[in-house]
Chain A
Amino acid sequence: MARVITITSGKGGVGKTTATANLSTALAMLEQRVVAIDVDIGLRNLDIVMGLENRIVYDLVDVVEGRCRLRQAMIKDKRLPDLYLIPAAQTRDKTAVSPSDMVEVCRQLRVDFDFILVDSPAGIEQGFKNAVAGADEVLIVTTPEVAAVRDADRIIGLVEAEEKGQPQLIINRLSPQLVRRGEMLSMQDVQEILAIPILGIVPEDSHILTSTNRGIPIVLENRSPAGQAFLQIARRMLGEDVPLTIPEELSFWGRLTGWMGRRNETS
């Protein structure tokens, strides 16, 4: 039976879709059967980040309105055998799906999967309510910025009101360098203010942009700091005890000494 996990944030643009695409991919890399559902009806993007936008025939609204079977709306990933995407409709709005529709879709999917990841739209209205309706667990994504943390606090209150248990936090786009200089809220600052458990920290990483440009989730390019961070989070979701660290890009010298170290080991 699958765990249904909704990824939400309140504020837009903090990385919900990037997190959903990468965690879905990472879990599938760890041999889990995963389906990602885009609930952002009218503003779909998960298909783009996963590089599956050209394969869409049916979408979530087609399923809900009975124009196709659930299986027909599931797009199989290009690279991983047990990863699927159910895209949102692009030409409709949030009212096309109801919370009970989402509960039903999740119920049908539970049998065949280990994880169902639901990508929520920004905001606190119907789209958010749809996204959390079928969830067993909720992950909140925020960035270390005043506006994003404020909105995360609001969303945490709403998730608790929906009786979904205590949500967990992903802090995205943290720059260890700026934190060291005292010019960015630290992991501890955010944790102190929001007071929910931290599931992971994803560092600011320009590779995210290039991987989104290509439509290849960054976890598939595992040398990047953000990719490593998402893989760590996926392992924690599976119950592995992975220490909470912030992966950083190695400097030129760090890479060189690492490379020389490996050479010495082999010779």
Chain B
Amino acid sequence: MQQFYQLFVSGLLMGGVLAMLASGLALIFGVMRVINFAHGDFVVLGMYFAVLGHGWLPVNPLILGVGAFVVVGVVGAFVQRILVSRVTGSDEAKSHKGQIIMTLGVALVIQNLLLMTVGPNSRVLRLGVSRSSFEVGGVFINQARLLASITAVAMTAALFLFLAKTRTGRSLRAAADDPVAATYVGIDVTRAHMLAFGISTGMAATGGVLLVTFFAVNPFVSFDFVILLFVAVVLGGLGSITGAFFGGLIIGLVQSLSLLWIPLEIQTLSIFVVFLAVLLIRPQGLLGNSVRA
């Protein structure tokens, strides 16, 4: 039973961070119908922001997280305005092909720019919390992961409140529901898309700041988790930010708790087994809307 509690807590902590990252990815798809294959690389930008920023200004990672949100968010909005907007449009079938290629291209550019500037060596932001843990009832809780998870959940909650309670948030939802009608009522859809992309990439970068306190970064580390993020988004239901949030939590828990029954070596397999099982029962994902043929 002790092992169950330990695995449950570990899974929940990792799931919290994945949930935030997946929510940001779902926001872009929900508002703009854009599949952003560079999302993992914006996470990596946040990781490097933390590592390099802490070397220059050794402050609390939460402050670095705010900085990363702003800086990378602005970069993301710029990328959307200059590049991604050129391959989005009313014809979804055609624009998806362009989006995939464009965002993959952005990913490659980010990876190779990082390789050229900061080099290939792995780095990790080693703070006191990285190597410290609480013990509660025999369960070890790593402080860095706990901080990351709490911050991630708080940020996601803030996102939900922003979308539900603020005028700007409602305008983003309107632009997502019906861009044409939104334009008729005076919503600047172009600006809404930029804002959504910026918020998403900003959240990704903040997630990266939190991750790097316990997960080493190199220019290509996005490969290690971008697939999990897409699984979380699809599992939760494409376009549903709430679904993506729970999808991320489920992935963290499944990956961890599966060790009660299967070897560590095939741990990741469990995620895809659950993913396929859910889609067989609910093809639209947990919280997605079904579409009649």
A and B interact physically:
no
Chain A residues proximal to chain B, CB less than 8 Å: none
Chain B residues proximal to chain A, CB less than 8 Å: none
